[in-house]
Amino acid sequence: MTPDLLPKVESFTGRKVTGLRPLSGGSVGRVYLVEFSNGGKVVAKLGPGLAPEGWMLRRLAAETRLPVPHVVHDDDDLLLMDYVPGGDALDRGAQLHAARLLADLHSHTWHSFGLDRDTVIGGLAQANTPAARWLDFFRDQRLLAMARQALAAGRLPAVTMDGIERLAGRLDRWIDEPGRPALVHGDCWSGNILVKNGRVTAFIDPAIYYGHAEMDLAFSTMFGTFGDAFFAAYGEITPIAPDFFEVRRQLYLLYPLLVHVRLFGGPYVAGVEQVLDRFLG
């Protein structure tokens, strides 16, 4: 944290800063734990385009029961949030708790797929123009939109882009319309779930929109976030439709894979190509 930001933090919090240290994470920006003279703590996130993240956290806090950090201040370059304890593993108890929390989040619905404003995922633009059909929204504003971002950044080969466009034209073979739009976290992996003493204390770094609940479920399998205990508990609350694990999970994984291609390139391209090989033959 540069010295000129310390007065900002003190101004926005009304407290005297006595210490700070870097925290892990922060692939988009730098993250610090800020300590105050009265013993309080906040997390400061620095980087470009942070205002949408603050807006999403405020919205989740106001409209859902999903635990998220309280936002103290947000602007384009600085996000201040109350410190939430975490650091424990997603053990069985935490996974059961996460299942209840996500099932409740997914019970929130809207008149369309999308959102009333655009957001971000991993600092990347995420369009949310409302659409009446899930297939159209997923194809145009998730799959093709992120593939084009990755192609423009020089991280997705043109031949792979051709395959994505061919797959996009055939999605109706495997994807059915859900009964209703569901509010999703949008970036659901273990690094964005804080756990303490067998309970989820907060979900962080949201990329919210109204889509298909299976997007969160699929995303969680990308890095092995949840196991059988989570999916069994979730399924008891909201039954998981047939063929999710065998078919749709891999299709929906294309979006986070493409996000990682855009951000990091390299090894994630192979993951995209494996999905294309399976569905295009």
| Cβ–Cβ under 8 Å, residues 123 and 141 | no
Examine the residue annotation and report whether 88 is marked as an active-site residue of this protein.
Answer: no
Structure tokens at 31: 């993250």
DSSP codes joined into one string, 193-213: EEEETTEEEEE-S---EEE-T
Using only the alpha carbons of the chain, give its radius of gyration.
Answer: 19
CA–CA distance, 123 with 141 (Å, rounded to integer): 16
**Crossing angle of helices 92-106/228-237, nearest 10°?**
30
CA–CA distance, 22 with 201 (Å, rounded to integer): 20
At a CB cut-off of 8 Å and minimum separation 6, what does 107 contact?
A: 182, 238
Active-site position among 187, 205, 216, 277:
187
Active site amino acids:
187
